[in-house]
Homo-oligomer: A and B are copies of this chain.
């Protein structure tokens, strides 16, 4: 899984019917220092993350699992809100 910060959401009137009712979050992937890395991801959300929160998300085929239906039209889903990263100073 990867870490990202929720920076906003997408509005899309014209979209595939399978996306009806799903929130589309905009995620900025971040590193362990919370610095942006790589490009923004459009993600579905199984836990109700808010804007500004640090989260982790699953990609590819596994992203459909949290939506509790098969098939589900997504390749990235937020699955947890990060309380803290525990990195001992001698761990790196």
Contact = CB atoms under 8 A, between A and B. Distances in A.
Interface of A: 1-3, 5-16, 18-19, 24, 26, 28-29, 31-32, 36-43, 46-47, 51-52, 56, 58-66, 71-76, 79-88, 90-92
A14 B6 CA distance: 15
B12 A91 contact: no
A83 B18 contact: no
A82 to B, nearest CB: 6
Contact of A62 (B26, B73, B85): B73
Contacts of A85: 8-11, 26
A58 B64 CA distance: 12
Contacts of A46: 16
